[in-house]
Amino acid sequence: MILFVGGTPAMQRTLRFGSLEPGAVNRAYEVRVTASGKVVNAARAATVLGGRALLATFLGGDPGRFVARELDAQGVPHEVVWTEDDAPTRTCATLIPDDGPVTELVEEALPVSERDVAALEEIVAENLKEARALCLIGSFPPGVPDDFYARLAKAAREAGVRVLVDAQKAPLRAALEEGPFLVKPNLEEVAATLNLPNGEPDARAAVAALTDAGARWAFVSEGASGSMLGDDSGGLWSVEPPRVEAVNPIGSGDVMAAGTLLSLSRGASVLDAAVYSTACAAANALTPTSGEIRPDEVDDLLPQVYLTRLS
């Protein structure tokens, strides 16, 4: 079982337009409402791809109850901490014009209590007994301490469970001190977290900085340009993704995290897992809804991913 833990799920509205004009009335020709947020996207992708996932998160209010119903309907196992004051789960929106770039409107999560945080940590501790891997993904709502992922990473290490961290800033810095198996931020997130060399952020430098800070493996995404993968012994590889006409790239990083751990859980090497997860990310970009993936498209895209050793 892969245990997915994160604090900011969402009820997601995806609206499609012929064109999108700021300051004008824009009428959507299609609207979809789905459960989303990084932790939801990752757990759902792992489930759709045939893995055994368990999602642990906070939910509250009517949007939270909608997310829970969607998870039930899609067969995504979950254990939820219902917020102490029933603070509503956030609602976000994605605007997709046919003739331009995607726009994301993100609502910030409401605070959670110390009781809520303790309850989520207890859920994780209990389920680590059956987990093969732990995915710590996404940002925290106010009220969650910066060392929360670090505490969970330490508990997982002591239980012999591999940890993937997909986070940034203080939570990632704290988690790196616990020596996670793999970290998977994008280049922009690494630049916001660690002191990279002056000038334009560089993926090679980002990988080196992350492994120097404690990660055994670092997988740094540059979006459609590809990713850089490296380990703490100095090995470095570039991963070139398939060339696709993206409909909505949002959620591709979440799906990549799920694909990486799912592949590893099936016995693949880290290198092969990076290739598989890159195909997963590209498949996500072909769909209008973030975190949505079709297994047959992953299979089609897999031969189009290229791994090159650099050092």
Above 80 in pLDDT, residue 201? no
- pLDDT above 90 covers a percentage of the chain that reads 97
Question: Would the pLDDT of 198 be above 80?
Answer: no
- Residues 114-168 have pLDDT tens digits of 999 999 999 999 999 999 999 999 999 999 999 999 999 999 999 999 999 999 9
User: Averaged over 216-236, what is the pLDDT?
Assistant: 96
For the chain, list the strands marked E by DSSP.
Answer: 2-5, 10-17, 30-36, 53-59, 78-82, 90-97, 103-105, 133-137, 162-166, 182-183, 217-221, 227-231, 236-240, 306-309
Q: What pLDDT is recorded for position 189?
A: 95
Look at residue 197 and tell me whether its pLDDT is greater than 80: no
Residues 244, 226: Cα–Cα separation, whole Å: 12
Tell me the pLDDT band of 199, cut-offs 50, 70 and 90. Answer: low
The single-letter code of the amino acid at 59 is L
pTM (2 d.p.): 0.96
In the chain, the number of structural domains is 1
The predicted-structure confidence for 90-113, as pLDDT tens digits, reads as follows 999 999 999 999 999 999 999 999
On whether the CB atoms of residues 258 and 5 are closer than 8 A, the answer is: no
pLDDT of residue 184: 98
Domain range holding 163?
A: 2-309
What is the per-residue pLDDT across 242-290, written as a single tens digit (0 to 9) for each? 999 999 999 999 999 999 999 999 999 999 999 999 999 999 999 999 9
CATH number at residue 125: 3.40.1190.20
pLDDT digits (tens, 9 = 90+) for 17-57: 999 999 999 999 999 999 999 999 999 999 999 999 999 99
Position 174 pLDDT exceeds 90:
yes
Determine contact, residues 107/90, Cβ cutoff 8 Å.
yes
Give the burial class of 26: count Cβ atoms within 10 A of its Cβ; 0-12 exposed, 13-18 middle, 19 or more buried: middle
* Measured distance CA(220)–CA(236) in Å, rounded: 11
Q: How far apart are CA 253 and CA 226, in angstroms?
A: 11
Q: Which residues pair with 70 in a beta bridge?
A: none
